[in-house]
Amino acid sequence: MYNPIIIPLSVPNLSIDILDNVRETIETGWVSTGERFIQDFESKIAAYLGVDRAISCQTGTAGLHLALRVLGVEHGDEVIVPTLTFIAAVNPVKYVGAEPVFMDCDDTLNMDLDKLEQFLQHECNYIDGQVINRKTNRFIKAIIAVHVFGNPINMQRLMAIKEKYNLKLIEDATEALGSFYLEGKYAGKYCGTIGDIGVYSFNANKIITTGGGGMIVSSSDMLLNEIVFFSAKTDPLYFFHDVIGYNNRMTNIQAAFGTDQIDRLEGFIETKMRNYQLYKEAIAGIEGLELLPFKADTRANHWFYSVIVDREGYGLDRDELLTKLHEANIQTRPLWGLIHKQKPYLESQGYRIEKAEWYEKNLINIPCSSNLTEYEIDIVMRCLNNFHKSLRRERVKEVVKERAII
Ligand SMILES: *Cc1c(COP(=O)(O)O)cnc(C)c1O
């Protein structure tokens, strides 16, 4: 099907107002890691999330690295991570010299908490308040949980597991800024604000962007102080250094984008929820396609939309559909390659990974930008419908031909 416009998967939604902020950074000369946009952006994020304090950093990846560092994850320790996620959720484990243990996902695409519990119960020893992996004899120190595509993981259950086994919990909320719980113990609480440390990202494809950037929150002031300490090169006056710090701070230019973007976040979420509904109604009428739901008792930010392609019902398999959509100028993408199967992690331990393998083969993400128009959604839906119908027509023709031969 011919489509004259390119419909991107997920692009920034930037306001021209940002230019005034950028002008200020140029006129004042404050383009590096100090000045008012940084404080403004941190305060606005903290106020939005209902926490006392938020610490900005250079990227979400840097935020996760700092989180592991200040939580005391060290060389030779292990960290439980999902296999179904973007690789930046896992790489920081290696940065601190620790090893990942990969977990499967469930039908929400988030970490399978049944399997997590089974692993901790049956594959680990619990000695003096510490978890030891029987297979490797290493200490398991922490869990990194990702709220995949902005869909909140079951934090009530995860927090209970973390407390029972005395593990640290990092929430990778890089995709979930704005998602919160409506029911249960954490009703009203935002993803990222419940575990020991939560990390957000402002990369260009995330729900709000600063070009590149991250934010770290924690209920522990002490941990946040340490993060501030390690994120800089430390001693600013005499250049004496007791520890090896990083250079992970956000710049005033990045924050100049952020202070404007955060004001628009709720509007973006509204649009994303409305567009999701439009897709949902249209996709419900197509045999062999299923739009995955977001968790019912939450207000998810609806960052990315996931569609399952069933070859039997739809007539095309996932990869054939991807190709056809690309030919029609519609940018879609498959799920990430599972991390435990990527070259740097082939030696790492995975625990009963089954569902993630299935989703890896059958899922696509469809255009979801917060500036996506109804007109564009209509084009996507007409393509999805047409591919299905033209195949049906071809199949009917084949059947007719076969009958004629008989
Ligand atoms: C985007 C993302 C990150 C990394 O964020 P950056 O700001 O790009 O470094 C980490 N984890 C997940 C799950 C992500 O989607």
292 domain residue, yes or no? yes
pLDDT value at position 242?
Answer: 77
- Verify whether ligand 1 is closer than 6 Å to residue 56 (CB atom): no
pLDDT value at position 92?
Answer: 98
- Measured CA to CA, the distance from residue 85 to residue 96 in angstroms comes to 19
pLDDT mean over 214-241: 86
Strand partners, 190: 180
pLDDT value at position 184?
Answer: 97
Pair 113, 106: CB distance under 8 Å? yes
pLDDT mean over 234-256: 84
- Measured CA to CA, the distance from residue 84 to residue 102 in angstroms comes to 9
**Domain shared by 141 and 80, yes or no:** yes
**Domain shared by 228 and 99, yes or no:** yes
**Domain shared by 24 and 127, yes or no:** yes
406 domain residue, yes or no? no
Q: Which residue minimizes the CA distance to atom 7 of ligand 1?
A: 60
Q: Is the pLDDT of residue 390 over 90?
A: no
156 domain residue, yes or no? yes
Range in 170-179, 285-294, 328-337, 385-394 the model is least confident about: 385-394
Q: Which of 264, 284, 299 is the last residue of a domain?
A: 264
Instruction: Assign residue 208 the CATH number of its domain.
Output: 3.40.640.10
Q: Is the pLDDT of residue 35 over 90?
A: no
Q: Is the pLDDT of residue 176 over 90?
A: yes
DSSP 165-223: TT-EEEEE-TT-TT-EE-SSTTTTPBTTSSSSEEEEE--TTSSS-SSS-EEEE-S-HHH
345 domain residue, yes or no? yes
Tokens 């709720």, located at residue: 266
333 domain residue, yes or no? yes
Pair 257, 14: CB distance under 8 Å? yes
Tokens 């991107």, located at residue: 8
**Domain shared by 252 and 367, yes or no:** no
CB hemisphere CA count around 128 (13 angstroms): 1
- Measured CA to CA, the distance from residue 318 to residue 361 in angstroms comes to 7
- Verify whether ligand 1 is closer than 6 Å to residue 172 (CB atom): yes
pLDDT band at 388 (very low <50, low <70, confident <90, very high): confident
Pair 309, 316: CB distance under 8 Å? yes
pLDDT band at 243 (very low <50, low <70, confident <90, very high): confident
11 domain residue, yes or no? no
Percent of the chain scored above 90 by pLDDT?
A: 89
pLDDT band at 235 (very low <50, low <70, confident <90, very high): low
**Domain shared by 175 and 290, yes or no:** no
pLDDT band at 244 (very low <50, low <70, confident <90, very high): confident
Pair 178, 269: CB distance under 8 Å? yes
- Verify whether ligand 1 is closer than 6 Å to residue 175 (CB atom): yes
**Domain shared by 231 and 290, yes or no:** no
**Domain shared by 299 and 181, yes or no:** no
What is the position in ligand 1's atom list of the atom closest to the CA of 63?
Answer: 9
**Domain shared by 276 and 373, yes or no:** yes
What is the position in ligand 1's atom list of the atom closest to the CA of 64?
Answer: 10
pLDDT band at 241 (very low <50, low <70, confident <90, very high): confident
Q: Is the pLDDT of residue 328 over 80?
A: yes
pLDDT mean over 137-165: 98
pLDDT value at position 128?
Answer: 92
Q: Is the pLDDT of residue 394 over 80?
A: no
Q: For the chain, what is the domain count?
A: 2
Q: Is the pLDDT of residue 396 over 80?
A: no
pLDDT mean over 142-171: 98
- Verify whether ligand 1 is closer than 6 Å to residue 171 (CB atom): no
pLDDT value at position 333?
Answer: 94
* Tens digits of residue pLDDT in 50-98: 999 999 999 999 999 999 999 999 999 999 999 999 999 999 999 999 9
- Verify whether ligand 1 is closer than 6 Å to residue 214 (CB atom): yes
Instruction: Assign residue 313 the CATH number of its domain.
Output: 3.90.1150.10
pLDDT value at position 237?
Answer: 67
**Domain shared by 281 and 239, yes or no:** no
**Domain shared by 260 and 281, yes or no:** no
Range in 100-109, 316-325, 393-402 the model is least confident about: 393-402
Tokens 């704005």, located at residue: 178
Which residue stretches of 29-88 are H helix?
36-49, 60-70
pLDDT mean over 8-28: 96
Strand partners, 363: 308
- Verify whether ligand 1 is closer than 6 Å to residue 149 (CB atom): no
154 domain residue, yes or no? yes
Ligand 1 centroid–CA 61 distance in Å is: 6
pLDDT value at position 404?
Answer: 67
Residue 227: which domain range? 18-264
pLDDT mean over 191-219: 98
403 domain residue, yes or no? no
**Domain shared by 205 and 292, yes or no:** no
